[in-house]
Structure 1
């Protein structure tokens, strides 16, 4: 089992100086490291005037955060791959992997917010789904080539590596011909982890799970639950069985869940319910409530419509919220019935250190030992 924290650099209304936002992230990862939690993830977002997650350079951010730790794994969820030149990304991630002695994990995505994508790489606009997927797939292959091949060369409509006009002062086998014209590039350094950091795809669709399996990626998902989650994992396993990448993949996806642990269920609900209702309403407007429902459930069902958002999400295991015993029981159920072996927990009330730090301590001291013991793990 693996239990990680997903940290958002929230700055509601841009009310705090960014150095305070950074200081909070530093305190959180230092505490997670001391408590023995398994991983700490940050995202990538741009142009965030709302202050939901101000993290435009996760590689640079994690270089700072990881330097304050000794054992916890660090992750990016997710690198918006079409917004990066794959050679630069390969270099930066390899540097970070070496700086952390091989503690890096990387999730990749095509991007979600159009404003982020088109203002950096308009060609990758997801309105053209086929082109967006092609851009993602090619950049993924170039990224891997940079970690695998020496020298690195690539020729396509989008990339000519090395550039045809590249020359060096003197010939150097195998990177140039006898006239000094480059035939390939040395992309340095290589990652500390052989083959590079573990790579994930962030997705919640059957097609996304199947594509991840074919591309040799593990999966992180947020919304799917119960039977929907089972179906996605089965699609992943079936596609993986047909893949020929020869890499070791998880049997089931990692799941992202909101979390807050308090001494009692009642206190946890009182603290979190207003935030849950606000988030529920936003996502309902953007995506509809079907993302939270199980197979065969009708979004127009009067019973569902009459259920409070907190209760609807809690009964479908979208919230790891409650007392230590309640949260542990929910995790044990997900592990036993759904095969979940990797949790990414996003603390509710993220800007309030008191409650988040208490949540992390209760997780480490009271929740995770019970979950691991129930599953026969130390």
Structure 2
């Protein structure tokens, strides 16, 4: 039986060059969340970013922000993609996320990351600088273990390289309890509240490498991925499943959630005209940072003159990185991913984020024309 199709949105709090007062950025996010909930879209995610003077995504406290945004919804799932785990104290994170899960009635999903931008990581936790890959991974694993223990253990008892709970000198007033001995010395800690969802929110890793997928399977995390498509995505999903089975567990997912840029307009031509400048700009930036290979399929040569000469929009569209076009075109693209890559969870990032008319039209066409067609084809 095929896994139920899930289609979410990713909302970036974009404010290019800080042109708008930040309260307008907040109000825009509020409108988007309320509309997504009203339209019956399955979920909506925000990210975490710090020191963002460029205005790419100004969301330094996603837990606090989601407490406000989610209060304007009633049914849609809400998510953070992704919490920069090394930047947080894991107990405080456990408390904040549990509180948020309680406040939303158990609608929270959480993706975790070691961090991407060096400026964010080193200015919040210099020890976690990813230039030391082994140490960065160890810090992530330690915090992940403590986060989970805080939700699972009562009382919490923990000892690792960087954390010890209770602190040896901890005392509480009052008589003996399951948290204290007869002298009032703490023997364990109460982490309150617990999440509304049994075991806590679903946890994801945001990754696009084989090593990242293998690590996610080892750590019992689902995955969200951006760049990989076609054969590359198939290989990553295969590596995840194999590692989960090798470890004696059942894979948490049949295939990764896939993040894709999205813009829907009445015609393919109008959609392309609107979005192509943004696609080209993003492509050129990522090409400088990571190279063209991240966009390519398995076995494609990044130095192939034909690939080098292809317009960025065509290169990305042909390799299924973009869900851009008319409702029929976008529905067909989604169905292709379902049939060829076994995709069952999409996270769509609307292009032209600051343009309310384009984004809201994309959301309306997605809900009213694309998803009914896709779900009918998938589920019959």
The match for 1:81 is 85
The equivalent of 1:157 in structure 2 is 161
Query: Does residue 1:260 correspond to 2:263, yes or no?
Result: yes
2:104 maps to what in 1?
Answer: 100
**Cross-structure match for 1:274:** 277
What is the match of residue 335 of structure 2? 332
Distance 1:203 1:24 in 2: 28
Say if 2:176 and 2:183, in contact at 8 Å, map to a contact too.
no
Partner residue of 1:64 out of 68, 74, 77: 68
- State TM-score, norm by structure 2: 0.98
Q: How does 1:234-249 map to 2 (within 5 A)?
A: 234-244=238-248, 249=252
1:123 alignment counterpart: 127
Q: CA deviation at 1:172?
A: 3.5
Q: Separation in 2 of the partners of 1:94 and 1:243?
A: 28
Kindly indicate whether residue 214 of structure 2 is the aligned counterpart of residue 214 of structure 1.
Answer: no
How far residue 171 of structure 1 moved from its aligned partner, in angstroms, is: 3.3
User: CA–CA distance in 2 between the matches of 1:261 and 1:240?
Assistant: 37
Q: Aligned runs of 1:225-236 on 2, under 5 Å? A: 225-236=229-240
CA-CA distance at 1:75 after TM superposition:
0.2
Structure 2 residue ranges without an equivalent (≥5): none
SS of equivalent residue, structure 1 residue 182: coil
Distance in 2 between the 1:355 and 1:134 partners? 43
1:174 to partner: Cα distance: 1.2
Name 2:188's counterpart in structure 1.
Answer: 184
- TM-score scaled by length of structure 1: 0.98
How far residue 244 of structure 1 moved from its aligned partner, in angstroms, is 4.3
Q: Using the alignment, how far apart are the partners of 2:331 and 2:223 within structure 1?
A: 23
Which residue of structure 2 aligns with residue 172 of structure 1? 176
What's 1:348 paired with? 351
Deviation at 1:170, TM superposition (A): 2.0
Q: 1: distance between equivalents of 2:240 and 2:210?
A: 8
Contact 1:215-1:245 within 8 A present in 2 as well: no
- SS at 1:106's partner residue? strand
Distance 2:192 2:140 in 1: 22
Determine the C-alpha separation between the residues in 2 that align with 1:94 and 1:131.
28
SS in 2 for 1:331: helix
Could you say which residue in structure 2 is the equivalent of 1:316? 319
CA RMSD of aligned residues (A): 0.9
**SS of structure 1 residue aligned to 2:359:** helix
Aligned residues of 1:214 and 1:245 also touching (Cα < 8 A) = no
**Is residue 112 from structure 1 mapped to residue 116 from structure 2 by the alignment?**
yes
Runs (4+) of structure 1 exceeding 4 A deviation are none
